[in-house]
Structure 1
C-alpha cells in the first residue's frame, strides 16, 4: 500500500472502531499496491487530509490484505472512495480525480 502522509491505514480488524465509530466523517480509500490511479490519488488525499483536518478523517485500506471490509462494501474497482458518517456509507466515488473535483464532491458530506 502506498503510504500517504497524514492518512492512516486501517484493517479488517480495526475498521469498525476507526471508521464506523469515528466522531467525524471519514473518507476511506480502498487501494492496492498494483493500482496506478491509486498512486495518482495519493498527493490529492494528502492535501485533503491536511486541509480538512478537524472536519474530515482520511484513511486507506489495502484491498488485498483486508478482504472482509472490501467485500462488505462491494468494492470491485480501485481506487474506490467511500465517505462514512455516523457509521453509514453516505457517498461513494470510483477512480482518481483532481483535488478540486474531490473537494467539490465532499462539500455536501463534511
Structure 2
C-alpha cells in the first residue's frame, strides 16, 4: 500500500478529506466531494482518510476537527480548510490554488 507521502507526491493535485464515520458534517461532505470529482475529473485526485483508523497521520497533519480538507501538489500543501463547503466553493478554491 502506498504511503501518505507517496499519495500526495503526484503532480496531479490531491485533495485529502480527513473524516470520521460518526461525524455528521463529514457525511454531508461526501456527496459534495463526489460532485467535485465528477466536475474536475482527472484534474484532481481525492483521498479520504478516516482519522479514527489513522490517528498518527491525523496528528502529524495537525487535524484538530473533522471534516478537514487539505490540498497538495507534488507533496506541498497548498490549502486547508475545516468544515463543510459547497461544491462550487471547493471547485473555485482548488482551481485558484492549482492554476
**Do Structure 1 and Structure 2 share a fold, with TM-score over 0.5?**
yes
1:68 aligns with 2:56: yes
Q: CA RMSD in A?
A: 1.5
Q: Deviations over 1:14-50 (max 9, x none)?
A: 212122x222010000000010001111111001112
Tell me which residue corresponds to 2:4: 15
Superposed structure 1 runs of 4+ greater than 4 Å apart? none
- Note the residue ranges of structure 2 that are not aligned, 5 or more in a row: none
Pairing partner for 2:84 from 82, 96, 102 = 96
Q: Which has the higher helix share?
A: 2
What TM-score does the superposition give when structure 2 sets the normalisation length? 0.90
What TM-score does the superposition give when structure 1 sets the normalisation length? 0.82
Tell me which residue corresponds to 1:5: none
Q: Deviations over 1:58-99 (max 9, x none)?
A: 111000110121111100110000001111111001101111
Number of equivalent positions: 98
